[in-house]
Amino acid sequence: MIKIQLKPIKWALSFSILAAATLYSQNTSKNNFKMYKIHGSIKGDITDNFAYLYYNNVEDSVKIVNNNFDFKGASNDTVSAQVYIKSAENAPQFYLENNNIDMQISVNKVNKDGKSVETMHIDEIKGSRSSQIQSEYLNFYKLNSGKKDFNKLLYSKLTVFLKKHRSHPFSGAILAELAMVNPVLNKKELNSLYSLLDLSKQTEPDLKFFKKGMDRLGTYGVGKPFIDFALPDQNGSLVDFSTFNGKFVLIDFWASWCGPCRKKSPELIALKKQFAGVNFEIVGISIDKNKEQWTAAIAKDKLDWANLLDQEQKIKANIGIENIPYNYLIDDKGIIIGINLSAAEIEKILSANTKKT
């Protein structure tokens, strides 16, 4: 093994926990292993000859044979790790521990900013205690997230969960996502849960994103006014946010190359149609760098609302958004009343607060 420093493009915010809900299996061995053995199988056309494993500033490489690879080694603790091939733009994260781990990986080509790039995704992991811990939390979230008192249920669950798993890096990843991406809990609750962690076992990026998310909740959290901005539309005309004063506004951050963003378009179209004739508007803010690709996506997806371009990503950076899709629901007084909501949650709030004009 050799110590290396990965290119910045290989690093990103810890994988979206909620998006990984089907990733992990609970098939966990009870044996006490003193080393890890990772078997990986890759689905998709690849030209790479080597797979790379990175953790704790250490990189290992093995030859890929018939789209399969195997790593062996030992780790002093459960750590956040990444596996990747050099042709891919990203490096998927998982938790490395001394155990027999089997992972299935898919490699796909996507169009980003007018260029074709390869992306990697871990479809499934079997054989680790970490996968069991993750499944416990993800299953709870899936079963309870639609309940009216979910925030109370989640806080209660995490109080017990984090005490039990305070030294596992997944615990820090949960809080980083709840602060940065999925603000279900308030600052007081998040700070209380944070105090339960063994900080020496958490990753530096997760701790940094937690702090950044907490700072943002203080500035752009529920109950706070949204940022004032002016951005160009498809015709180059500058549109000021004040144009929408007195209306409920859904600010939707997206990009033409973002698959999950595009999949949500039909839901937004349905919302727009359902609440036509009330004081509600959708404002799409794209972070595309390729204007032509952006306008083509608007036409193809039939996005019939105000579409603005944050080409230099200044608004995104100012607010501190790390991943998309991401949204803010603003009331008719310009106050944030929801963050990163599902279509069902938006519908419920609008039904209770809007009326025909």
Predicted TM-score (pTM) of the model is 0.72
Fold of 2-127: Immunoglobulin-like (2.60.40)
Tell whether the model's pLDDT for residue 332 goes beyond 70: yes
The token pair at 105 is: 């990986």
The token pair at 48 is: 């790479």
What confidence score (pLDDT) does residue 23 get? Answer: 56
> What are the tens digits of pLDDT across the range 262-276?
999 999 999 999 999
The residue among 152 and 47 whose pLDDT is bigger is 152
Measure Cα distances from 334 to 39, 122, 213 in Å: 52, 40, 21
* Sheet with 115-126, edge to edge strand ranges: 68-73, 36-43, 100-112, 115-126
> What are the tens digits of pLDDT across the range 24-53?
554 444 445 689 999 999 999 888 999 999
Rounded to 10 degrees, the C-alpha dihedral 294/278/148/340 comes to 20
**Domains of the chain by residue range:** 2-127, 145-220, 230-353
Nearest to 28 by CA among 107, 113, 95, 120: 95
Compute the distance between CA of residue 322 and CA of residue 357 in angstroms, rounded to an integer. Answer: 36
Q: Domain 230-353 maps to which CATH number in 3.90.1150.10, 1.20.1740.10, 3.40.30.10, 3.30.70.1290?
A: 3.40.30.10
What confidence score (pLDDT) does residue 51 get? Answer: 96
> What are the tens digits of pLDDT across the range 59-113?
999 999 999 999 999 998 999 999 999 999 889 999 999 999 999 999 988 777 7
What confidence score (pLDDT) does residue 6 get? Answer: 38
Burial of 201 (0-12, 13-18, 19+ CB in 10 A): middle
Nearest to 204 by CA among 4, 13, 9: 13
Contact 278, 355 (CB under 8 A): yes
Average pLDDT in the chain: 88
What confidence score (pLDDT) does residue 270 get? Answer: 95
What confidence score (pLDDT) does residue 3 get? Answer: 30
Burial of 331 (0-12, 13-18, 19+ CB in 10 A): middle
What confidence score (pLDDT) does residue 311 get? Answer: 93
| Mean pLDDT in residue range 189-196 | 97
